[in-house]
Structure formats: C-alpha cells, structure tokens
Structure 1
C-alpha cells in the first residue's frame, strides 16, 4: 500500500487489517499511512481510521492525536476542510465533530470535548455522525439520541433525522416512536423510513408500517401510486412487501381514503384502484361505493362535483363563523381596519357578477361576498384581500388580453393549455399584472375555487385550495394573537417571533 492508493478508505482499512502481525516493517508503514489518512476522506471515515489505528497501530496513537489537535486548533489547515470547502461553509460542525470523535477514540480522556462538540454542533452534522458518536459509549448514545429526537419532534427534517436516530439501535426506538407520532399528529407525513422497510430493525418495522400508512392520506399525491404507473414511493406496495401480516392494515388505510369526502376525487379513485393489491373484490366494492356517492372520475373526464345542498349549507355556515371571528377581532383590536371593509353584496349583485363572468362563483366565495363585498386589510396575508366583486369580470377580461399562462404543459391542478382561461378570475389588479386568482376552471387534480397566483401575468402555482381555507387560516392566526395593529400605518403586523408572510 502507498499513499496514492487510499481513495477507497474501506478497501485500505481491509488491506491494513490483513497485514500479518509478524511483518514488522509493513505494520510500521501501515501505521504511518493510517495517520496520514486521518486528514482525508469524509468525517465518518476519519473516525473509522482512528479505530483502525487503535486496533492495528497503537504505537501511532500519540502522533495521530497530535495531528488531530492541530486540525482542531487551525481548521484551515485541515485537509478535510480544504477538500470540502463548500460543505464545510454550510455545515461547519461536521469536520470539527468528526475530529473530536476520532480524538476520543484515540484518547478516551478527550470524550468530554467530543460531548461538548456534539451539544454545540448543528443537527445535520450530528445526524451524519450519529453512529460514530454513539459508538463512544452509552452516555454519548443517549446524548445524540435525545438531540435527534428533539429535532424530529420539532419538525426538523423528520424522516431523515429519524433514520439517523434508528441507526443507533433498539435503545432509541421508544424516543423515535414518540417523536414521529407527534409529527404525524400535527399533520406532517413521514412516508417510508427505509426502502425496503425490512431494512429496519425487526422490532421497529410494525411501527414504521403504521407511520407510512398514516402518511398516506396526508400526502396522497406523493405516496399513492397510480395504477398505471407505480411509483417507488408507493406506500401500499412497500408495506405489503414487508409482510403479509400487514395486508389488513393496508386495506383499512386505502378504504379510509376512499371514504374521505374531503379528499380529492382523483385520490379517492386511485385508492380504490390500489385496493386491487389487497383483494379484487375490495377494489370492486370501493369503485361501487364511489359511483353511488357520485364521486367524479377526473381520468374519465367527469366534471368537478357540485356541492350538495347540505354541503353548501355547511360551507356557508363555516364562512359566516370565520367572518364572525375575524370581524370580532378587528372590531376590538383594529376598529379603523374593520370600518374599511366593504359592506355586504346583495344576492342580485352576486347573480349579476356570475352573469358577467359567465361562470358560477364557488359557494364559499359567494357567501363571503354576502358578508363583505371587498376586503382590504393592509399588512396581512394578501390572499385574504380582494377588490369589489363588481370589478371581477372587468379585471378578468383585461388580464385575458395581456396575460399568459407561462406554459402550455399540462398540469394536474392548473390547466395551462391556453394563454388565459375564462375561469381565471383575478381578485385584484396590480399595475404589473400580478394578481391572486380565483380558479373556476381547474385541472383534473385541482379544486373549483382554488387560489392561484399570477406573477406579472404568468401563472405560478396553487396557493390555497379554497377561499374558505384562506378565511379559516386568517381567523386562526387572529385567534392565536399573531397579529398586532399599527395605528400609525393603519395596518396589521406580525408579532415578533412569528413567521412573516
């Protein structure tokens, strides 16, 4: 072996271990090479090299420790920093922590410094080096397990960091379960923690199955494969591949999505089709259920469903309640803003708007206009604002003359096959052509009444599924006291510590 051959650290370590104990000269050369290799490779490999020095060349420990202490004192001299400058600038803790772990391997008296570095470094670095750090002992394993679990529970890249946490073994299973259960409870999907799931520790596979199936309705677009184009992230297939004992759980999860009236029709149809994996009769039963429930089939060109009278009444009641909360808060905290909201639009005025547009307004938006015909609140999430409804048809026609969809490619949620669609109704009209748009002619995966954004006339993406969702979001933020009123500017402001729009 020579120093030009150590690009594959694993191969070099294997060759070093194969050097006969009786070959003193080669053992000496091997030890010197291992010390040299401490300055090369990735962070985890540095730790592996340190362990090889302890096992194969203990006489080189002092030299190895001195070299690493030099790197810690002068990071700019560390070959790892030089070779990975871009990574180091973004994740500076990675190199330093790898050095501290390697030092602790070589000299147990350095374990305290390694623990301090693990507490202080960024969570990405700690995740990358979790196994190496945990290998120092039970105290270190508990430290890294707690930090990773706290980060997962806080919503920081939960799937990736949970995989790092699980790599530490069964001692961290309880922490991982509790953290991930909390993430799912907040409505964030986890998906597949491993592919295949059987790569996980056998004791954790059942819980990983539960997490995957709970993720399915939270993001069916990502995790529910179409019949004709199975996806690598197809959760139903992945869970069934983990064992026949999960067949009933897969069937139950798919049926919940089939029966969910709030899910998009296309996802409910896809879930029915995926029941073929469980049982052909179950698929046929689900498809009959959807036909009887008059759930449209976008793939077959069915029109978007019209709310039943009962559902329309529920939507109107929800809109009225949202405005009760919003108006109450504004009246108490920002009366000047409250006084500036438009008055109610009459049923005749709403009918006239629909006649001018040539399209029916969504139930939630029409109900909202019956409370406030225009909504202008400076300083808030702009989608809750719109101009007077009497101007909608005029703005639509003006933008139709100058706007562009930005693309002629098909889109699941937005139709982009025309320069400007009659169903794109601007809710305001900025001088540069930018506008929040009420989409009354969505794509097969979209919702009638979804809100999309036109950036200087070019259609961007879906920003909200419905006007009711926008009102509920705004009402929730006011209830949570996330806004304060600035009388000097007659505007609402996000309180310090909360996210800004």
Structure 2
C-alpha cells in the first residue's frame, strides 16, 4: 500500500496520514517518533489533551501497519511498546487472533506480501513477544521450528528480544551455514558478522567451504572487514569465482549497456584491495578459468579481461594465448565481407541472369501464383542500410537488390523465402539480442555461433510471425560463411539453409527448371517428393 492509498473499507490508510510520502516500516516508525515528540512538554490540561490526541493517532497508525507486511511486524511492535504502550493490549489481541487463525490475517491475502504461511506464523510470534514478554517462549519455539531460510530472514528481529534469543539466533546461523543452500548461507554469515564473534564467523565459513558452498560478497568492502576474517572471506570469494565464473566474472564494457560494467564489484578487485598475496591468488584463479577448455569462449575471454583489472600485462598475455589457441572472442568485431564496385560488377550479371530465369519459370509454370517483384534499389540506398545495420551486406545479396529491392510470394514456397524491402532490413533484427547465453564450450567448427543469441548479425528477411523464417547471418561461426542464409524458429537457430544468397537463387532456379515444384491445392508451392 503506497502513500495516500485507501483501506478495503475505502477509508484513508491511517499510516498514510502519518507518513504520506512512504509506508516503509523504518519511515513510518521515524514519523511516529517525530509526531509523538512534536510540540511543547505536556504542561497543563490542554497540552496533555494535545499529546494524548497525537499519541492516539500514532497508536492507530502503527497498529494498522501490522496488517501491511510480515517482515515489519516486529519493528512495529517494538515501536508501539516504545511510543504508545497503551496501544499494546489491542495489538496483542489482534496478533494473537492472527496466530491462532492465520486466515483472519489480512497480510495472507495481500497480493504482494502474503502467501507465505511460515512467514506469517514466525513474524507474528516474534512481534507478539516484542509486545508482551509472556509470549517469548512461543516465539523461541516458532524460531526453533522454522526453516533455515525463514530463520535467516527473521534472525535480527528475533535477536532483538534479548540475550537468550540472540544466543538462539547465533546457534541457528552456525547450523544453517553448515547445511543450507548458498544464498541462505551467505545471509547467515552476514547475521553472524553482526551478532556473533569472529571465531563463530570463521567456523561458519569453514563449515560452508568444506561442503563446497562458498559465500561471496558477504561484506560491502572486503578490505575493511575485521582483519581476522579477511583471509577466510577472500578465500571464499575466490572459490566462488572459480566454481561459478559465469555468475561472478565482471561483464565487459558494452556501449549499448554501459551500466553492466562495474569493475568495483568484481571479486578480483575486491580481493586485490586486501593485499599483494590476495591479489596474486586472484591472478591464479582468473588464469585458470581463462585456460580451462571446459568453459565457453565468452567465459574464457571475460576471465582474460578481468585479469586486466589486476595487471594489464597479464590480460594481454592471456588474450594472446586464447587467440593463438583459436578461441574466438564473442565480443570482438567480426570480420565483414569487403567488396567494391569491381566485385559487384563480377557478380551482378550472374545474379541478374538467375532472376530472369526464375521470373520466366514462375510465369510459365505457375501463372496462377502471382509474385510481386520490387523495382531495383540504388547503391546509395544499400550503403545507407549498411550504415544503419553496422554490417556490410554480402555482395551477392546487394547485387540481387539491384535487380529487385524486395519480392513477395502469394503463399509459401518451400526452400525459397520472401524478402522485405531492403530499406526495411534494419527494422527486422531479432528482438531480445543476447537473451540466451551458452556458457559451455563452443564447437570450433560450428557454422552458426550460439555462445549467445539472438545475434546482432542475424538479419531477418521478413517479419517474424512465428514458425521458421530465414535470416542473413552476418556474424557466422568459425565454420560458417559470411552472408549464409540460416533458418530460425522463434529466433532459435535451426541450421544453415544455404551457403549464401547466390547459392539460394541457384538452387531455386535449378528446382524450377527441373520441374520439381508443384502448386498444392492449399495454394503454396512445394517440392515434389522423389
């Protein structure tokens, strides 16, 4: 519920009146403190009435906020005890009802905050103990029975109750570090850093590492942590980097999304700040990742790049090794086909002749299958398209556009795609570029690159309306050819449809002249089956 929103009954939320800008628990409690402290000391009957009115309003608002969110209940309960103790009994009755009848709890029905039955029980029990110490034993039982994740989420709230609860939290966090999943372990260690001793933190880290779980980024600034903890924390971060480089390696700068490049967040940068010995260990880990052939090209090149955050010479050395090994850099500009007027002049006659034969065959054999042929494009238009794409069009495709800038069949033609107007090609790039990433090893002879896709160099030949469509591949794999025609199904590569545009026209022409096409009753041209 945001500021100014209304309750289910249509009334303005009491907390919104108290704190219209924000309904975050911390902000509401701070506003409540200001409201209670506002005004002169309560001297005289009138002043006492004013203070009572302010306190009553604050009490209603805080009690109402107990119905907003599970996670803020304990903090709100403590604020009620501190600021408006007279509101405590009503709050206790309300939360006791929610504990005995969870379905009566409004938060369980909230579309954002509700739905977690375990959170409802634990948060309510802890809040009740904050309001009335008589409920502390119930809260301790609820915390003992909670799952590891829930125990971590509500650890700080439960520890507020007193030394006994704090000890229970510390014991539980140490146990979670030895058994819970990685994300829970990291949060458990953070709690121990706040509530426990250095020895307890070290023991938790050792237990996690022994079972192959490596808490990472436990603290904001690694080099500012307790010096007794820095070696273990740095070791855990480097182990995490080695175990999951796709998750912890820094992203290289991308002009299209510069916000992704955050060198200060890199594990290697954090560890380097802890001293030369830690820096040397980070270099070793990154070097091992870059040289591990089980990783994909992108991971290996990212590791080599991150080495440069520690030592520019190390980066250059590792990049040279990758290049010498034939590991292509997915982020490097791809070699593009270069052609000039002389190359175009050599190709154009063959392409024009193929189009003449295609048009003749279609007109003679399938007069009821009218094809729309566009007029020629100009070299200036082709150059502008190339500028917008950031890629050169293959010379044979450019030569084809100088004959027909587009062509459209009235229905499907097996083995031959439509082509949109050449000027529209920049609009027909795949959506969600790079939405699929493959961190595994890449086939050094693959015709199509799939280290990530869709790719910027896949230029659709018509609008993607679902199903299989064709695209020019201007960013081929090591075993592919610039300008090859590939098949995509919902932007997933299905294979190479033709080695190039000229090959596609030649194959279509040969099939037409060999009378291999038949017009189906459904209205499309299909190849005769042998």
Q: What TM bracket, shorter-length normalisation?
A: 0.5 to 0.7
Say whether 1:159 aligns with 2:183: yes
CA deviations 1:105-128 (Å, max 9, x no partner) are 122221111000001122222222
CA RMSD of superposed structures (Å): 4.2
Q: How does 1:418-437 map to 2 (within 5 A)?
A: none
Q: How does 1:92-171 map to 2 (within 5 A)?
A: 92-154=117-179, 156-168=180-192, 169-171=194-196
Say whether 1:42 aligns with 2:69: yes
| Corresponding residue number in structure 2 for 1:299 | 329
Q: How does 1:432-447 map to 2 (within 5 A)?
A: none
Alignment counterpart, residue 252 of structure 1, candidates 275, 278, 281 = 281
Alignment counterpart, residue 97 of structure 2, candidates 65, 70, 75 = 70
Distance 1:52 1:188, change over 3 A: closer
Q: Is the 8 A contact 1:183 1:189 kept in 2?
A: yes
Q: Is the 8 A contact 1:192 1:233 kept in 2?
A: no
Q: How does 1:203-282 map to 2 (within 5 A)?
A: 204-225=229-250, 227-229=252-254, 237-241=266-270, 244-259=273-288, 262-264=292-294, 266=297, 267-282=299-314
| Corresponding residue number in structure 2 for 1:382 | none
Task: Give the Cα separation in 2 of the matches to 1:289 and 1:182.
Answer: 37
Deviation at 1:210, TM superposition (A): 2.2
Task: Give the Cα separation in 2 of the matches to 1:248 and 1:38.
Answer: 51
Provide the TM-score with structure 1 as the length reference: 0.53
Q: How does 1:312-327 map to 2 (within 5 A)?
A: none
Distance 1:70 1:170, change over 3 A: closer
Distance 1:61 1:36, change over 3 A: closer
Deviation at 1:254, TM superposition (A): 2.5
Q: Is the 8 A contact 1:38 1:64 kept in 2?
A: no
Q: How does 1:333-412 map to 2 (within 5 A)?
A: 412=438
Task: Give the Cα separation in 1 of the matches to 2:137 and 2:288.
Answer: 55
| Corresponding residue number in structure 2 for 1:347 | none
Task: Give the Cα separation in 1 of the matches to 2:320 and 2:161.
Answer: 59
What SS does the aligned partner of 1:298 have? coil
Deviation at 1:228, TM superposition (A): 4.4
| Corresponding residue number in structure 2 for 1:57 | 84
Q: Is the 8 A contact 2:216 2:236 kept in 1?
A: yes
Q: Is the 8 A contact 1:187 1:218 kept in 2?
A: no
Deviation at 1:67, TM superposition (A): 1.9
Alignment counterpart, residue 25 of structure 1, candidates 52, 64, 68 = 52
What SS does the aligned partner of 1:207 have? helix
Distance 1:204 1:82, change over 3 A: farther
Q: Report which stretch shifted further, 38-47 or 185-194.
A: 185-194
State the aligned residue count. Answer: 318
CA deviations 1:427-480 (Å, max 9, x no partner) are xxxxxxxxxxxxxxxx89xxxxxxxxxxxxx999xxxxxxxxxxxxxxxxxxxx
Of structures 1 and 2, the larger Rg is shown by: 2
| Corresponding residue number in structure 1 for 2:110 | 83
CA deviations 1:171-209 (Å, max 9, x no partner) are 155444333334334444443335555797776455332
CA deviations 1:97-152 (Å, max 9, x no partner) are 11111111122221111000001122222222111011112221222233233233
Task: Give the Cα separation in 2 of the matches to 1:37 and 1:139.
Answer: 30
CA deviations 1:327-357 (Å, max 9, x no partner) are xxxxxxxxxxxxxxxxxxxxxxxxxxxxxxx
Q: Is the 8 A contact 1:153 1:183 kept in 2?
A: yes
Task: Give the Cα separation in 2 of the matches to 1:301 and 1:8.
Answer: 42
Task: Give the Cα separation in 1 of the matches to 2:222 and 2:285.
Answer: 22
| Corresponding residue number in structure 1 for 2:28 | 12
Task: Give the Cα separation in 2 of the matches to 1:188 and 1:30.
Answer: 49
Q: Which has the higher helix share?
A: 1
| Corresponding residue number in structure 2 for 1:180 | 205
Distance 1:162 1:100, change over 3 A: same
